A = this chain, B = another copy of it.
């Protein structure tokens, strides 16, 4: 085992993952466990996982991607879908398992965007929006080639940009957020209210692929909102590429085709029209690779402060 590896950790509401990753993005060891519901099982599962992956190896840095909200400056997390952690000192916990190794925290959507920019569908883009369409709609930004998390760690949160102030109510308290139209549950709810009889976003995508009109209309409505959110992001952040992943995006053309149509219809400015949309190629490994990239790019102790 070379010493030139980093420890990458990816923490979601369903699974905890950890791996050793080298500077080329090769994953040398990898393990996953289900995410326990609460402490102390949660912390114990994570430290056990890290111990097993690190074993006798000596990573020179660690990167941790975690479901948000995260506070990279304080090193704490309060993931919406991990109720057992609120203002939880995740960086301290990880640092305790790999003494002397610097630990960097990043939100999972930013990590996914960074992973795609490094090794996936975002390669070659200068500025990139990564979107995860799933039970919610998350997003992360890579600007001028570097992850941009923002002072509070929440940059790129496209799911809560408002596309119609008269739109449906959103969990955040506003009306007409992208998430209130384009998340899996939002599209399923809308279709069921109009007589579609399925249960989840996967079934809705299958119905849409077979041409069932209500399911097709649900994706059309969701992707119109998503297109408006992408246009707002492109207008403000001047991204040149958008990479879309997540469970709902795995539906492929059922989502991407109407999305591209709505983008072409609604974009008016030249620099916004040039944005290309590509499906994720890393899938759920994007977060782990992005966490690794975060660690690889972090300033090293004792080294000059520039990368």
Q: A269 to B170: give the CA distance in the assembly, Å.
A: 11
Binds B, one of A189-197, A213-221, A225-233: A225-233
Copies of this subunit: 2
Q: Which residues does chain B contribute within 8 Å of A155, judged by CB atoms?
A: 236-238
A186 within 8 A of B: no
- Check A236 against B156 for contact (C-beta < 8 Å): yes
Q: A126-B151, A174-B268 are in contact. Are A232 and B156 (CB under 8 A)?
A: no
Residues of A near any B CB (own CB < 8 A)? 69, 126-127, 139, 141, 143-144, 148-158, 160-166, 170, 172-174, 228, 231-233, 235-240, 266, 268-269, 271, 274, 306
Query: What are 28 A-B interface contacts by the 8 Å CB criterion?
Result: A127-B151, A139-B236, A141-B236, A149-B238, A150-B238, A150-B271, A152-B238, A154-B235, A155-B236, A156-B236, A157-B235, A157-B236, A157-B269, A158-B235, A160-B269, A161-B232, A161-B236, A162-B231, A162-B232, A163-B165, A164-B164, A164-B165, A172-B269, A174-B266, A232-B236, A236-B236, A237-B237, A306-B306
